[in-house]
């Protein structure tokens, strides 16, 4: 069973104590301050968190495998991480007090991004070529499902372990023929590096048979049980931040640039708009609102995960996603 540290226990007590007034809810991102992080800064700047009596500070991350333990130990009450990585974490750490409570990437950005000039334009083209993949990458973790769904022979693909900082530069320089990554990150990073846009093939795994969900807001369940109103308020503020960012992406990026002045505003606005169009504002979300998941699709996602990952314990969707804290006041719907 998962055992929280003394420090984590103390942190949980601190979180609970502040709930009577303004609740401190530091938020652990999975990645850097890039376009898709802008909605959380909008929620701060527009006072959406303050309206819920919340004090929120956003911290950068180094991938989902970094964000999940931060929340599980109580170092952060809330975070942002890939739900598929969360499944495996909970399987390996049964009883860990962490679960997803609000789906953000209804359609995950897991992708294979290749260069047409190097022969990669479709999934089958990966055979006989070199694929760059960072070992901790969420997209790489799902690649076996993508390969199985598209009948790829893994023995014919040369996998080159690469670091996150060198992934796109290696593809731009022709050292690999394709990489795994998030669609809006790898694609735009290549453009920034000077690769012609019409030379880039972005193969979104969700368009090629992968039924998985993507990143979600995750919560420390001990904190959530002690502070249910704070968690629901946090999710309501997040939804407002996303809706504001959809309505005015330029203003959203201005909020981001305040936190990351070195970023390219035009590039990050495009990255945000790609995430909205491809991952957040899907047809399902337009019809049902953001935040929840479809039970049948979630069951299929678990089965796809089971096909490439040997669960130590019987998988249970209720452990990975709990909609109990989602607001029910209509704040999750897009007009």
Quick one: fold of 6-107+213-325? D-Maltodextrin-Binding Protein; domain 2 (3.40.190)
Report whether 101 contacts 322 (CB < 8 A).
yes
How much is the pLDDT for 16? 47
Residues ≥6 apart with Cβ < 8 Å to 314: none
256-302 per-position pLDDT tens digit: 999 999 999 999 999 999 999 999 999 999 999 999 999 999 999 99
Residues ≥6 apart with Cβ < 8 Å to 330: none
Q: How confident is the model at residue 1 (pLDDT cuts 50, 70, 90)?
A: low
Q: Which two tokens stand for residue 269?
A: 């606005």
Q: Is 173 left (phi over 0), alpha (psi -120 to 50) or beta?
A: alpha
Q: Considering only 19-28, 48-57, 159-168, 188-197, which range has the smallest mean pLDDT?
A: 19-28
Residues ≥6 apart with Cβ < 8 Å to 173: none
Number of Cβ within 10 Å of residue 41's Cβ equals: 23
57-115 per-position pLDDT tens digit: 999 998 788 999 999 999 999 999 999 999 999 999 999 999 999 999 999 999 999 99
Domain 110-207, classified CATH 3.40.190.10, yes or no? yes
Helices (H), the chain: 6-18, 38-45, 48-51, 64-72, 83-92, 138-149, 167-172, 183-192, 221-226, 228-247, 249-259, 265-275, 283-288, 295-308, 317-320
Report whether 142 contacts 209 (CB < 8 A).
no
163-192 per-position pLDDT tens digit: 999 999 999 999 999 999 999 989 999 999
pLDDT of 331 strictly over 80: yes
Residues ≥6 apart with Cβ < 8 Å to 233: 49, 52, 53, 54
The pTM of the full predicted model, rounded to 2 decimals, is: 0.87
In this prediction, residues 195-219 reach a mean pLDDT of: 97
> Which backbone phi and psi does 19 adopt, to 5 degrees?
-65, -20
Residues ≥6 apart with Cβ < 8 Å to 277: none
**CATH 3.40.190.10 segments of the chain:** 6-107+213-325, 110-207
How much is the pLDDT for 138? 81
Report whether 231 contacts 46 (CB < 8 A).
no
DSSP annotation of 311 reads -
80 strand-pairing partners: 217
């Amino acid at each position: 069973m998962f055992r929280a540290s003394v420090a984590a226990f103390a942190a949980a007590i601190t979180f609970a104590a502040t709930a009577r007034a303004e609740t401190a809810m530091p938020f652990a991102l999975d990645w850097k301050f890039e376009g898709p992080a802008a909605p959380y800064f909008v929620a701060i700047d527009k006072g959406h968190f303050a309206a819920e009596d919340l004090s929120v500070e956003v911290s950068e991350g180094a991938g989902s495998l970094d964000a999940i333990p931060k929340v599980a130990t109580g170092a952060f009450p809330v975070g942002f991480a890939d739900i598929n990585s969360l499944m495996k974490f909970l399987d390996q750490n049964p009883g860990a007090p962490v679960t997803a409570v609000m789906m953000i990437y209804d359609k995950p950005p897991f992708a294979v991004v290749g260069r047409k000039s190097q022969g990669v334009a479709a999934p089958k083209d990966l055979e006989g070529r070199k694929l760059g993949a960072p070992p901790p990458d969420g997209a790489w973790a799902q690649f076996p499902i993508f390969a199985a769904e598209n009948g790829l022979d893994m023995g014919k693909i040369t996998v080159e372990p690469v670091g996150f900082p060198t992934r796109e530069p290696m593809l731009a320089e022709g050292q690999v023929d394709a990489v795994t990554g998030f669609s809006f990150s790898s694609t735009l990073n290549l453009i920034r590096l000077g690769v012609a846009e019409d030379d880039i093939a972005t193969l979104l795994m969700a368009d090629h048979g992968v039924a998985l969900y993507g990143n979600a807001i995750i919560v420390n369940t001990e904190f959530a049980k002690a502070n249910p109103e704070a968690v629901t308020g946090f999710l309501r503020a997040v939804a407002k931040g996303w809706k504001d960012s959809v309505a005015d992406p330029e203003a959203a990026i201005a909020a981001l640039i305040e936190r990351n002045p070195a970023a390219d505003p035009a590039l990050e606005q495009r990255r945000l708009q790609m995430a909205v169009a491809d991952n957040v504002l899907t047809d399902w979300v337009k019809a049902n609102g953001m935040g929840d998941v479809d039970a049948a699709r979630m069951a299929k996602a678990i089965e796809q995960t089971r096909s490439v990952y040997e669960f130590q314990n019987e998988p249970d969707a209720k452990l990975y996603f709990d909609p109990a804290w989602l607001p029910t006041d209509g704040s999750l719907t897009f007009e």
